[in-house]
Structure 1
Amino acid sequence: MAEEKTNVMRVLDQKKIPYTTHSYPHNEGEAVDGATVASILGRDPGEVYKTLVTRGASKANYVFVVPVLSELDLKKAAKTVGEKSIEMIHVKELTPLTGYVRGGCSPIGMKKRLKTVIDASAQDHAAILVSAGKIGYQVELSPDALVGLIGGRYADVVKADE
């Protein structure tokens, strides 16, 4: 697959943040679930993170970056950002709000900077993979570099293993 620069990669280059790109095969326009991405790339799913966009009771939007096999705990997420409640936005709202499509949403380079929380588990890894802003591409970078770049913070926001 030919190396294609995405906006995410351009932002990382501009800020001089080291990263590694990874690409994986997919059908054009079709989202690939994170567990499959981890498997194709031969990575531990605990190192591959998905970007979830939510809306709080106040109508403010928030981004949560969580491991692909984990589920966002809406109660913990709401408490973390000081909301009464939080819900996932409808998929049709994703592109107008972030500039990204489902399956290619990255916490880096969104249209508007949204308050972003990265699950605390990211701190257990030297590097994590997040979407490079396009289906079929991931970037691997230091979680601390990601937090610094997007003005995010760490918090425990995933459901505990049942």
Structure 2
Amino acid sequence: MRRGLAMALGVALALGLCVAAAGLAAIGFVTRPVAAPPPPPASEFLGAWCSPHGDRLVLADGRFTLDPLSPVFAGQIDHRVTTPGPDGPRRWDDPPPAAAAGRWDLDVDDQLVTVDIDVEQLDSDVVSSEQMALDTYEDDTGWTLYLRSGHLAFARCQQRGP
């Protein structure tokens, strides 16, 4: 009798361990993180981007231009740090610049994608260094670039008519 009871307990214990192992395997499968999609290539951001304030940002291979440059965006650039232009050094009370140019690169950090711009020129003035980051968001309509400090969104520019 003892032997039969011990055997029954052994079978029950083995069966219980199998059920527990299967349950843990199922939980591990369910909680396994889903692989994140690969980051977008920089080529997805090439072209013209427009803001509601009239800014036109054109991203080309490693270079950008912002022309026209709105006072809203210009206000986010520390444009006092320049070398003297044709009219002398830019002053804090000068009108804001109307155009900018420089370098850009795509930065991916833990699936957070930003368009980093390095402003090198404002109008005809050379800028020492002014780096800014545009956040990126993707939805059903495509990508949006967003300058958080100026609450300024950029969407793909609409085609201009003939």
What is the TM-score of this pair, normalised by structure 1?
A: 0.25
Greater helix content: 1
Higher relative contact order (CA 8 A, sep 6+): 1
Greater strand content: 2
Larger radius of gyration: 2
What is the TM-score of this pair, normalised by structure 2?
A: 0.25
